Amino acid sequence: MGKIETKKENKRKDLLNAAFDLFITKGFHSTSIADIVGKAGIAKGTFYLYFKDKTDIRNRLISSKATQLFRNALVKLEQTEITELDEQFIFLTDEILHSLEEDKSLLFFLSKHLSWGIFRSSMTEEKSPDGISAREIYKQMIARSGCRFEDPEIIIYLIIELVAGTSYNAILYQDPAGIEELKPYLHLLIRRIVKDFDHAGQTDV
């Protein structure tokens, strides 16, 4: 990456970081584009070289944060010898939950704004330095496990909704139980989802 491209990327990151801080402290609706560029120290006109509007930077921010969570957990998964898909999901889930426990502001932000549509886009659009999308990584996980699903995207949708829907209150308010108490139930349900929809693991009757 040349100096010009590096400078552009740094400005984009500065805008994203400023937006995240303001969305967390002031809220999305109370934050203006003027607030974002002011905090980033960037001219207002420059904002529109990178983002269409405030909603666009919020969606890009959500996509980036969610994908980074997944990738950080994936790096640790690749250091293991886990091949079973349900155990891969459980490992990733535990790592992501740990990260959200450590950064509750990120949990609050993602839980308020993350939708399946945004996450699905990030699976395709957000790429690692080697150019591989999260969707391709997910396909590799399935291939390595030997599982076979009629619609693999539905499986990850179910697991994401399960984890996202149960972890917020458990981490922030220990309601109906703390996250450590809840994890065995999450693990059981993840195993059940993978087993019930895995055609490779089913036998004809």
CATH number at residue 43: 1.10.10.60
pTM comes to 0.83
Give how many domains the chain has, as a whole number: 2
Q: Are residues 165 and 65 in the same domain?
A: yes
Residue 128: domain span: 59-201
Q: Are residues 33 and 99 in the same domain?
A: no
Q: Are residues 148 and 166 in the same domain?
A: yes
Q: Note whether 118 and 136 are within 8 A (CB).
A: no
Nearest to 67 by CA among 12, 166, 137: 137
Q: What DSSP string runs through 81-134?
A: ----HHHHHHHHHHHHHHHHHH-HHHHHHHHHH--HHHHHHHHHH-B-TTS-BH
CATH number at residue 146: 1.10.357
pLDDT of residue 118: 61
Q: Are residues 77 and 114 in the same domain?
A: yes
Reading the block at residue 88, the tokens are 């891969």
Q: What is the pLDDT along the chain (205 residues), one digit of tens a residue?
A: 578 788 888 999 999 999 999 999 999 999 999 999 999 999 999 999 999 999 999 988 888 888 888 888 988 998 999 999 999 999 999 999 999 999 988 888 887 766 666 666 666 666 665 667 778 888 888 998 999 999 998 898 888 888 888 888 899 899 999 999 999 999 999 999 999 999 875 544 3
Q: Which residues contact 116 (CB under 8 A, 6 or more apart)?
A: 157, 160, 161
Q: Are residues 1 and 38 in the same domain?
A: yes
